[in-house]
Structure 1
Amino acid sequence: METTEASPFESSEMVATFLASTPLLSDSWKLCSHANATAPHGFVANRIGDVTSVAFSGVQMVPAAAAGGLEQSCCRNLVSLAAAADGLFPALQRRGEGEEPVMVHTGFLNLFLSVYNCPSFRNQMLEIMNNNKSVVFTGHSIGGALASLSALWLLSNLQSFPSPLSVLCITFGLPLLGNKSLSRAILQERWGGNFCHVIAKHDIVPRLLLAPLTPQLHTLLQFWHLSMTSPYLREAVQLNDNDKSELFHLVLACTEESAKAVEEPDMSMFWPFGNHMFCSEDGAICVDSATAVVKMLHLMLATGSASSSIDDHLRYEDYVGKVSMQFLKRRGFPEEEIPDSSYEAGIALALQSSGISNHDSVSEPAKDCLKMAKRMGRTPNLNSANLAIELSKINPLRAQIEWYKATCDDSRDQMGYYDTFKQRGASRRDSKVNMNRIKLAQFWTVLIEMLESNALPYDFHKREKWVYASQSYKLLVEPLDIAEYYRSGMHRTKGHYLKHGRDRMYEIFDRWWRDRRAVEEENDKRTKFASLTQDSCFWARVEEAREWLDNVRSESDARNLSLLWENIDKFEQYARRMVERKEVSKDVVAKNSSYSSWMENWNELKLQLQQFPTRFPSCLDGEVVP
Structure 2
Amino acid sequence: MASGEGLTAMRDEEKALVALCCSVSMSAHRSPSSHFLLRTVSHPFPSAVFAFPASWSVDDWILAGEWGGPFGESEIDACLFPSLRSVGNDVAARVNRAFLRSFQRLLKDSRLQAEVHRALAEKKRIVFTGHSSGGSVSVLAAIWLLEQFFKSDNKDQVFPFCVTFGSPLVGDRVFSHALQRQDWSCCFLHFVSTVDVIPRSLLAPLSSFKQEFQAILHFLCPKSLCFSLNTIGEPLVIFFYSTVLRNALSISCHRACLSMGCTNPLLEVIPGFVKLSPYRPFGTYVFCSDNGLVSLKNPDAILQVLCYSFQLTSKEDLSEVAYRCLEEHLLYEPKIKKCLAMQDVVSMDGLEVIPLCLNDGISDEMQSIETMLEDLQLSVEARLCLRAAGEWENQRLRNQAKIDANYSKIQEALRSLSDYRATCEIRGLGYYDTFKLQKDKEDFDANVRRLELAGLWDEIVEMLRRYELPDNFEGRTDWVDLGTSYRCLVEPLDIANYYRHAKNEDTGPYMVKGRPRRYKYTQRWLEQAHRMPAWSSMESCFWAVVEELCIDSSSSSRPFEEMKDKVLELEKEASMWLSSGKLGKDVLLEESTFVKWWKTLPIQHRLGSCISSFMNGENMAGR
Fold shared by both chains (TM-score > 0.5): yes
RMSD of Structure 2 on Structure 1 (CA): 4.9
What's the secondary structure of 1:76's corresponding residue? helix
**1:170 aligned onto 2:171:** no
- Paired AA for residue 54 in structure 1: F
Aligned residue pair count: 557
Matched, 1:145 2:141: no
Q: In terms of mean alpha carbon deviation, does 493-502 or 428-437 score higher?
A: 493-502
Q: Distance in 2 between matches of 1:467 and 1:15?
A: 37
User: For the structure 1 residues 356 and 363, does the alpha-carbon distance in structure 2 shift closer, same or farther, using more than 3 Å as the test?
Assistant: farther
Q: Secondary structure at the match of 1:279?
A: strand
Q: Deviations 1:71-100 (Å, cap 9, x if unpaired)? A: x99982334316xx3643333356666x77
Matched, 1:406 2:415: no
Give 1:420's aligned residue.
434
Give me the whole-angstrom Cα distance separating, in 2, the residues matched to 1:290 and 1:253: 20
Superposition map of 1:23-422 within 5 A: 23-38=16-31, 40-46=33-39, 52-59=48-55, 61=57, 63=59, 67=63, 76-81=70-75, 85=77, 87-92=79-84, 102-118=93-109, 120-124=111-115, 126-127=117-118, 135-156=126-147, 159=150, 164=155, 166-213=159-206, 218-228=211-221, 230=223, 234=227, 238-241=231-234, 243-262=236-255, 263=258, 264=267, 266=271, 268-275=276-283, 276-303=285-312, 305-328=321-344, 349-353=368-372, 356=375, 362-375=378-391, 378=394, 387-412=403-428, 414-416=429-431, 418-422=432-436
1:521 corresponds to:
none
Q: Is the alpha carbon distance of 1:473 and 1:232 closer, same or farther for their aligned partners in structure 2, counting shifts above 3 Å?
A: farther
Alignment of 1:544-583 (within 5 A): 544=545, 554=559, 567=569, 570-571=572-573, 573-575=575-577, 577-579=579-581
- Measured at CA, do residues 132 and 543 of structure 1 come closer, stay the same or move farther in structure 2, by a change above 3 Å? farther
CA displacement at 1:598 relative to structure 2: 7.0
CA distance in 2, matches of 1:156, 1:485: 40
Please tell me whether the aligned partners of residues 436 and 496 of structure 2 are also in contact (alpha carbons under 8 angstroms).
yes
C-alpha change, 1:39 and 1:89, in structure 2 (3 Å) is: farther
| Distance (whole Å) between structure 2 residues aligned to residue 292 and residue 174 of structure 1 | 18
Offset at 1:140? 1.3
Deviations 1:171-227 (A, max 9, x none): 221223244444444455554434333211010112222233499874442121343
Change (3 A) 1:446 1:240: closer
Deviation at 1:32, TM superposition (A): 1.5
- C-alpha separation between the residues in 1 aligned to 2:409 and 2:577? 36
Shift of 1:493: 6.9
Gap runs ≥5 in structure 1: 1-9, 516-534, 611-626
Q: CA deviation at 1:401?
A: 2.2
Structure-1 separation of matches of 2:179 and 2:198? 22
CA contact (8 A) 1:223 1:237 kept: no
Residue 527 of structure 2 is aligned to residue 507 of structure 1:
no
Whether the 8 Å CA contact 1:351–1:366 is kept in 2: the answer is no
Q: Which runs of 5+ in 2 are unaligned?
A: 259-266, 348-356, 610-623
- SS of corresponding position for 2:509: helix
**SS of aligned partner of 1:273:** coil
The verdict on how the C-alpha distance between 1:288 and 1:584 changes in structure 2, with shifts beyond 3 A counting, is same
Match of 2:612 in 1: none
Partner deviation per Cα, 1:456-491 (whole Å, 9 max, x = no partner): 8x699457x656555544554454456567765477
What amino acid is the match of 1:432? Answer: V
- 1:294 maps to amino acid: L
Give identity over the alignment, percent: 20
3-state DSSP of counterpart to 2:451: helix
Contact 2:196-2:328 at 8 Å conserved across structures: yes
Partner of 2:541: 540
Distance across 2 between alignment mates of 1:476 and 1:37: 61
TM-score w.r.t. length of structure 2: 0.71
Q: What secondary structure is seen at the aligned counterpart in 1 of 2:309? A: helix
- 1:511-533 deviations in Å (ceiling 9; x for gaps): 55789xxxxxxxxxxxxxxxxxx
CA distance in 2, matches of 1:12, 1:404: 49
Shift in CA distance, 573/122, structure 1 to aligned 2, threshold 3 Å: farther
Aligned to 2:616: none
Could you tell me which residue of structure 1 aligns to residue 261 of structure 2? none
Aligned to 2:264: none
Which has the higher mean CA deviation after the structures are superposed, 306-315 or 205-214?
205-214
Distance 1:242 1:61, change over 3 A: closer
Distance 1:423 1:228 in 2: 75
Partner letter of residue 539 of structure 2? F
Change (3 A) 1:589 1:565: closer
Q: 1:328 to 1:513 in 2, by over 3 A?
A: same
